[in-house]
Amino acid sequence: MENAPSLLDCLRREAQRLVELREYPWPLPGGEDALHEATAQGARLLLQAEGEEAREYGATAMRMLLAAEEAAKEGKEERRKELLMAARTVVLVGIFETFGPPGARS
């Protein structure tokens, strides 16, 4: 499977997707589900990455996403949005700090 994307390629693609989603004001095109899914995917990829720092960023983002889901269940919409955006930021920082920004060469 030579043509399969590497973990680093997948991380950079998710980072680019998260950056692009941030360009839109609320409500997001495709709904907030698009941001949640991209953030969760980025967090899962960080959890699979080599290096304790990358995995810690992924775990932190996942905890924030779970807290956002709890806030939604409690009807705390502003808190849910804050946690979702914070989780997105953690994933982006994790990717950029660990692997460099989208477009960077390994």
Give pLDDT, residue 29: 56
* DSSP H or E stretch at residue 94: helix 77-99
Mention every residue, 6+ apart, whose C-beta is less than 8 A from residue 67: 83
Full-model pTM: 0.74
pLDDT tens digits, 57-98: 999 999 999 999 999 999 998 999 889 889 988 998 898 888
Reported residue count of the chain is 106
